[in-house]
Structure 1
Amino acid sequence: MAISVFDLFKVGIGPSSSHTVGSMKAARLFVTGLHEDGLLPHTASVRAELFGSLGATGHGHGSGSGKAVLLGLEGEDPETVDTGTVDKRVHRIHEADRLRLLGRREVEFREPEHLVLHRRRTLPFHPNGMVFTARDHDDREVRARTYYSVGGGFVVDGSATGADRIKPDHAPVPLPFGSASELLLRAYETSLPISGVMLANELSRRGESEVRAGLLRIWRVMQGCVERGCSRTETTLPGRLQVPRSCPAAAAQPRRGLPGCGSAAHHGLGQPLRAGRQLDDRFQGIGCARGARASNVSV
């Protein structure tokens, strides 16, 4: 099975792909389904239950699974949500005891009645389980769905069964590999750098312009994260754990001519890409040696 680079590198609200990205996606999937099936106008309230690890970190894991669920119910996507407005929006929901499902329908939402954290209970398939239930004005169930956040921002519907819950991508790629050694061997056989091997496989899914635009967008988001982290004045990260921020202090240290915190805007894309090419060249050399040994063995 070949994994796309866009499955490995995803843009999403932090700090955890399982606890925040997955939770937000599941909540958004639920309300999107209500809308598509014409059930949103009949919905008066939504109850979200978080189990296991999600329930245990509902209020303490950075932005928290609970916050992510609220934003997802309002229709936000983890890739495009404005992180600068998260706290204000969650505060507004708490103050009004109401939220806007998919940004369209306002319903009551009172914690802890409508956001239940099961810290010591888990669902059968995976520790990161969620159950969403929509009810009408007569308190009758409109719809209930179970979702699992299985890691990496992937969310599966609990209505699937067995191995069908997660379907791997078996689409053929021109240069398949199943280990680092095989990757180096593909590079040797084709005289391509590692990046060239990866690009060739990625082009089996989408056009080259789309691949390059997507990678550059991910890099720009990474740069922006570093810049924001280094420019913050708060001394601790969000959440009750009070973890100290390290980026501002690192930004103040001399970097001995290397691009570091606070300098991405001045260095642009050049130096990081040059560093990547140097690593690529070094691994390519290893691949040539590996390929030579493989050829000797085969002969």
Structure 2
Amino acid sequence: MFLSVFDMFKVGIGPSSSHTMGPMVAAGMFLDLLRASPFEAAGLKARLHGSLAFTGVGHATDRATLLGLAGFSPETYDAAKAEATLEAMKRNKEVSPDGLGTLHLDPASDIVFDFGPSLPGHTNGMILMATDAQGDVILQQTYYSIGGGFVVTAEDMASGVSTGDMDPYP
């Protein structure tokens, strides 16, 4: 994969690209996966692991994840709209990402900070899940925020994709 200077130096939400941009990008990837899925989701959940859990609130990882699951992306981030969306999400306990309808998402209980061991692929790991009407998980994907807003899945990591694969000049 070719990596340009515009990929390395980005304007985005902070304070840490690994803790905000990465989780927001991962959530967007998960929404795309869900749109392509044959399953009909009724809700969304996230488990933040390792560094994403331990510094998650201080680095706004929970907010970035919630906003990503609501359809926000770092490239088109609108701060005023984000605040309004987070307030509505707390009040209504739902999100309506494009193409998926209204999905249950309670910020207080559906974003879990897992302070146990880190996931095996990277210290910045997260598991995103879609649930059916009964709350059973119907789709799940593990993502790793590997720095600079870059994200890989557990499958990518297992197959050897890493930041080194993004360097055109090894």
Alignment correspondent of 1:144: 140
Q: Cα distance 1:138–1:7, how it changes in 2: closer, same or farther (>3 A)? A: same
Alignment correspondent of 2:21: 21
Q: Secondary structure at the match of 1:76?
A: coil
Question: Structure 1 residue 59 and structure 2 residue 57: aligned?
Answer: yes
Q: Cα distance 1:69–1:103, how it changes in 2: closer, same or farther (>3 A)? A: farther
Deviation at 1:92, TM superposition (A): 1.1
Residue identity matched to 1:10: K
Task: Work out the number of aligned pairs and report it.
Answer: 169
Alignment correspondent of 1:186: none
Please, which of 90, 99, 102 is the counterpart of residue 94 of structure 1?
90
Structure ID, larger Rg: 1
Q: Secondary structure at the match of 1:160?
A: helix
Alignment correspondent of 1:286: none
Please, which of 60, 72, 78 is the counterpart of residue 76 of structure 1?
72
Instruction: Give the conservation status (yes or no) of the 8 Å contact 1:73–1:102.
Output: no
User: Matched residues in 1 for 2:73 and 2:64: separation?
Assistant: 10
User: Matched residues in 2 for 1:163 and 1:142: separation?
Assistant: 24
Deviation at 1:56, TM superposition (A): 1.8
User: Matched residues in 2 for 1:123 and 1:108: separation?
Assistant: 26
User: Matched residues in 2 for 1:107 and 1:83: separation?
Assistant: 22
Question: Structure 1 residue 168 and structure 2 residue 150: aligned?
Answer: no
Residue identity matched to 1:107: L
Alignment correspondent of 2:45: 47
Q: Secondary structure at the match of 1:94?
A: helix
Deviation at 1:127, TM superposition (A): 0.7
Q: CA RMSD in A?
A: 2.3
Alignment correspondent of 1:263: none
Deviation at 1:140, TM superposition (A): 3.1
Q: Secondary structure at the match of 2:145?
A: strand
User: Matched residues in 1 for 2:86 and 2:47: separation?
Assistant: 17
- Higher RCO (CA 8 Å, separation ≥ 6 residues): 2
Percent of counterpart pairs with the same letter? 37
Q: Secondary structure at the match of 1:70?
A: helix
Unaligned runs of 5+ in 2: none
Question: After the TM superposition, which segments of 4 or more aligned residues of structure 1 sit over 6 Å from their partners?
Answer: none
Instruction: Give the conservation status (yes or no) of the 8 Å contact 1:12–1:80.
Output: no
Residue identity matched to 1:8: M
Higher helix share: 1
Instruction: Give the conservation status (yes or no) of the 8 Å contact 1:75–1:103.
Output: no
Instruction: Give the conservation status (yes or no) of the 8 Å contact 2:66–2:107.
Output: no
Question: Structure 1 residue 110 and structure 2 residue 106: aligned?
Answer: yes
User: Matched residues in 1 for 2:146 and 2:136: separation?
Assistant: 30
Q: Secondary structure at the match of 1:113?
A: coil
Deviation at 1:141, TM superposition (A): 2.4
Q: Cα distance 1:103–1:92, how it changes in 2: closer, same or farther (>3 A)? A: farther
* 1:275-294 to 2 correspondences below 5 Å: none
Q: How far does the alpha carbon of each residue in 1:226-265 deviate from its partner, in whole angstroms, 9 at most, with x for none?
A: xxxxxxxxxxxxxxxxxxxxxxxxxxxxxxxxxxxxxxxx
Deviation at 1:77, TM superposition (A): 1.0
User: Matched residues in 1 for 2:55 and 2:5: separation?
Assistant: 28
